[in-house]
Structure 1
Amino acid sequence: MLSQKARYAIRAMQHLSDHYGQGLVPLADIAAAQNIPAKFLTVILSEFTRFGLVESQRGRDGGYRLALPPVDISYGDLVRLTRGSLALVPCASRFAHETCKNCLPEEECRTRALMLQVRDRVAELLDGIRLSDPIDPAVVEIAGGG
């Protein structure tokens, strides 16, 4: 499940993407439009500034803007930067792997094998969708017919 921080981060970056090329966006405008507490938003955007995804400028005319074109930022990037991994269990993480406690040896664990497949499909999907891609909240497609 996505953390609240990851959801706020995605919404903030979508907002900055919507205003790409239009100059700096004040923090208060992002917070109000996306219903994100300003203090929490400051932390998120500061982290994204350190990661090189966002540029900031202080002062009366300050604000934030994307440091990269929206086409160069995937949703997979955003989730990894805020959550640390796309995997649902630590043993299925490709970059932050940890052995699970109280589990079977990894080479015998069918749950891990399943979660690796889930992680790979989620990564493929999220890495393939860019901030520049239109997303219509009124159109929801359920893959797999579940």
Structure 2
Amino acid sequence: MFKEFKDFIMTGNVIDLAVAVLLAGAMGLVVSGFVNDIMMPFVGHFSGGLDFAEMKVVLDEAVLAADGTIAKPENAVMYGKWINAIINLIIVGFVLFMIVKAYNKTKTPPAPAAPEAPKGPTQEELLIQIRDLLKK
């Protein structure tokens, strides 16, 4: 059973998948850094300094104890974080669109198919021509 497991793990597909997962995780960090640290300040600037992450609807206020500590935390719907996630999706989608568009421009277009040679007469047409010539 150990040998079968070793053979399974060492196949190319599993190793390729592991590499893809690790690269996707690293790429996720790069993309989230780009969106959060570069693009979102622009969004905040053009929206008048509004921070969407702080937008919420409070359902239950926080309850403070006599000593000032929080006895019961606030219960709120954080819809601003959802708005941030949608903005992130739009930004990432646009960046990926631009990357794919640039990649497609680098690919060479397929060579146009050579026009088919005109087909000659069929065997029946040739026999008809021969028959007509013999009649003359």
TM-score by length of 1: 0.22
Larger Rg: 2
TM-score, L = length of structure 2: 0.23
Structure with higher helix content: 2
